[in-house]
């Protein structure tokens, strides 16, 4: 096996467990490596560190798969690893739907697999994992005997790895509009044309957190996508629920989801730009008992963090203005570049600007099928906050 030797003086990141090895940390590469090959990584003193896949075209030269010398990376390895991922999800309480594989946090870098009951959606976001796609599909077939597997590799980040954007079936074709169960409700999921893998499983635990505050409430939800939080609110006893999204497709699906759950009498969805509408309604003096916000990541790069913070502050400020005294703001941020502390500071700034006092009800992260590895910053990305607005 080809070998990659690290420089003597590098940050302790790799030694401390991080799976990425950057170009500038490498002293020399032994052998004729091709992008996507599995290589052995050794430190300056030739001590074994691990095995991983290499892509000389990427700034992250190697992503480690294992630190056990005897592990052989082959088809069987993927069956074992993905089985472990499933055992773990079951152990922490997931039965039907879960993020089965969460990339680096499951020691399968850049591999995402979402399980929607008997259907699976996969993303292979780096060359070195993409070459194992057949093995991964084979592992899913062996472990689950699924009804269908779909590839959602229509993601720009693949191009940095020299990979094309593509989507399609990795099993016999099936109707890609499926229905899943969550917290006793049903949701249409479009695995072919929905956002990301079709559904945001990362909020599935958080959706339960609104249970008590929405009882008898008039609720406004913005950035609703397919209406999951809003339909939960209706089910938990809200008096009226209005959900907004800029995407017509999302709104149409949200309305179908309301009907699917028989809550369409008190839960409806409209197409709108939340920034404009919330500003206008603030001026009009509209008031809600609960306002929920779940905007998209306003940034994907460090250079534009400030812009993202301005966006989060602005939308939360507009949302808070619409909350009746004593009501609640439910607010999220899904970019790992804004860390939890910075997010809370941003909400605090928004509260100061609108001269409202807030108190924290709960502060959570992504659902626990997306494990967090300390020291691997990008494994913790979601912030979910409920505050009472006085």
- Chain positions contacting ligand SAH, by CB under 6 A: 195, 200, 203, 222-226, 228-229, 244-247, 250, 273-275, 294-296
Question: Would you say 229 or 381 has its CB closer to ligand SAH?
Answer: 229
88 vs 275, beta carbon nearer ligand SAH: 275
Computed on alpha carbons and rounded to an integer, the radius of gyration of the chain in Å comes to 23
The whole-angstrom separation of Cα 203 and Cα 357 is 26
CB atoms within 10 A of CB 252: 14
Least distance to ligand SAH from the beta carbon of 67, Å? Answer: 35
Task: With beta carbons less than 8 A apart as the criterion, state whether 305 and 338 touch.
Answer: yes
Q: Closest distance between ligand SAH and the C-beta of residue 366, in Å?
A: 11
* Closest CB 320 distance from ligand SAH, rounded Å: 17
Phi, psi of 221 (to 5 degrees): -120, 130
Indicate the residue among 116 and 132 with the shorter CB distance to ligand SAH: 116
CA gap 225, 353 in Å, rounded: 28
User: 21 vs 317, which CB is nearer to ligand SAH?
Assistant: 317
Which residue, 225 or 328, has its beta carbon nearer to ligand SAH?
Answer: 225
- Comparison of 224 and 331: residue with beta carbon closer to ligand SAH: 224
Closest to ligand SAH by CB, 73 or 201 = 201
Buried b (16+ CB within 10 A) or exposed e, 328-350: bbbbbbbbbbbbeebbeebbeeb
Please give the backbone phi and psi of residue 210, each rounded to the nearest 5 degrees, phi first.
Answer: -90, 0
Where would I find the H helices in 236-296? 248-260, 274-284
Residues 119, 98 contacting (CB under 8 angstroms): no
**Minimum Å distance from CB 225 to ligand SAH?**
4
- As measured in angstroms, the least distance from the Cβ of 56 to ligand SAH is 35
Give me the residue label for tokens 């963090």. Answer: 305
Shortest separation between residue 71's beta carbon and ligand SAH, angstroms: 37
In the complex, minimum distance from the CB of residue 22 to ligand SAH, in angstroms, rounded to a whole number:
31
Within 13 A of 23's CA, how many CA atoms are on the CB side?
6
Q: What gap in Å lies between CA 151 and CA 173, rounded to an integer? A: 12
CB atoms within 10 A of CB 72: 10
């Amino acid at each position: 096996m080809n070998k990659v030797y690290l420089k003597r003086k590098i940050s302790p990141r790799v030694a401390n467990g991080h799976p990425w090895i950057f170009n500038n940390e490498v002293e020399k590469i032994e052998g004729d490596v091709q992008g996507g090959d599995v290589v052995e990584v050794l430190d300056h003193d030739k001590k074994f560190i691990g095995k991983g896949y290499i892509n000389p075209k990427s700034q992250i030269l190697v992503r480690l798969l294992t630190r056990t010398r005897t592990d052989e990376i082959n088809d069987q390895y993927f069956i074992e690893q993905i089985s472990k991922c499933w055992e773990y999800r079951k152990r922490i309480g997931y039965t039907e739907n879960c993020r089965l594989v969460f990339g680096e946090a499951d020691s399968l870098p850049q591999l995402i697999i979402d399980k929607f009951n008997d259907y699976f959606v996969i993303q292979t976001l780096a060359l070195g994992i993409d070459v194992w796609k057949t093995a991964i599909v084979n592992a899913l077939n062996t472990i689950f005997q699924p009804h269908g597997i779909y590839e959602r590799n229509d993601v720009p980040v693949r191009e940095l790895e020299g990979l094309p954007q593509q989507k399609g079936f990795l099993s016999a074709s099936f109707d890609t509009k499926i229905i899943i169960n969550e917290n006793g409700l049903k949701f249409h999921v479009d695995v072919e044309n929905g956002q990301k893998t079709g559904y945001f499983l990362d909020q599935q635990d958080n959706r339960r957190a609104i249970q008590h505050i929405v009882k008898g409430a008039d609720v406004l939800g913005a950035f609703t996508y397919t209406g999951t939080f809003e339909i939960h609110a209706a089910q938990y006893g809200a008096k009226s629920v209005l959900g907004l999204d800029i995407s017509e497709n999302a709104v149409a699906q949200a309305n179908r989801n309301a009907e699917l759950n028989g809550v369409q009498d008190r839960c409806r969805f409209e197409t709108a730009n939340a920034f404009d509408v919330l500003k206008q309604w603030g001026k009009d003096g509209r008031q809600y008992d609960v306002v929920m916000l779940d905007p998209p990541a306003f940034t994907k790069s460090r250079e534009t963090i400030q812009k993202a913070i301005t966006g989060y502050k602005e939308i939360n400020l507009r949302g808070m203005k619409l909350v009746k005294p004593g009501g609640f703001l439910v607010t999220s941020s899904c970019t790992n570049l804004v860390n939890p502390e910075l997010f809370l500071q941003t909400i605090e700034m928004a509260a100061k600007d609108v001269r409202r006092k807030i108190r924290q009800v709960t502060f959570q992260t992504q659902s626990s099928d997306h494990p967090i590895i300390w020291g691997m910053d990008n494994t913790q990305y979601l912030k979910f906050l409920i505050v009472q607005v006085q």
